[in-house]
Amino acid sequence: MDETLIRPATESDLPGILEIYNDAILNTTATFDTKPQSLEEKREWIRETSYPYVVLVAERAGQVVGWASLRPFRPKAAYRYTAENSVYVEKDCHAEGIGTALTQRLVQVGAENGFHTIIAGIAGDNPASLRLHKRFGFQIVGVEREVGYKFERWIDVTWMQRMLE
């Protein structure tokens, strides 16, 4: 297996990020987006994600095989020390440690960039993501029942939190 490099994302990574994300939109409940995004939408998204926030990619053999981000949790100023994370892995690379490497680096970057806490919103039927976050000290802080509707069914969201200080 090729070595996985975790690094900050650049605009040149957007086609790989978009491919992974659009697959998740169309085939999973990991996101509540329901329509594939365009390259221009992702270009705007990455441009909006500046310090102290971050987008990381996992690269293997020159290919993006996963990505993760820390983004604003809420827009109000009092939330400025809280970030919400996202972690997505190429469907053919699940259970290969990519999500682990991305999450580990996100937690490090969150602490380095002065965040007090990281929040993860995990859609109902994603036990792998729940296990991943638990492994890094995230704790369940609540469940919102049937707040999303996708694939002709209602979906819960489990909220997890990791304190950094």
Which tens digits make up the pLDDT trace of 54-105? Answer: 999 999 999 999 999 999 999 999 999 999 999 999 998 888 899 999 999 9
pLDDT confidence of residue 107: 97
For residues 162 and 107, the answer to whether their CB atoms sit within 8 Å is: yes
18-47 core/surface letters (b: 16 or more CB in 10 A; e: else): bebbbbbbeeebbbeeeeebeeeebeebbe
Number of helices followed by number of strands (H, E) in the chain: 4, 7
DSSP E strands: which ranges in 35-115? 54-60, 63-72, 82-89
pTM confidence score: 0.93
- pLDDT, position 111: 97
Domains of the chain: 4-163 (3.40.630.30)
Burial 88-107 (b: 16+ CB within 10 A, else e): bbbeebeebebbbbbbebbb
Name every residue whose Cβ is closer than 8 Å to that of residue 78 and which is 6 or more positions away in sequence: none
Is the pLDDT confidence value at 143 over 90?
yes
CA proximity to 161, closest of 79, 51, 58: 79
pLDDT at 165: 77
What pLDDT sits at residue 78? 97
Q: pLDDT, tens digit, for every residue of 108-121?
A: 999 999 999 999 99
Q: Which of 23-27, 47-51, 65-69, 144-148 has the lowest mean pLDDT?
A: 47-51
* Contact present, 87 and 66 (Cβ < 8 Å): yes
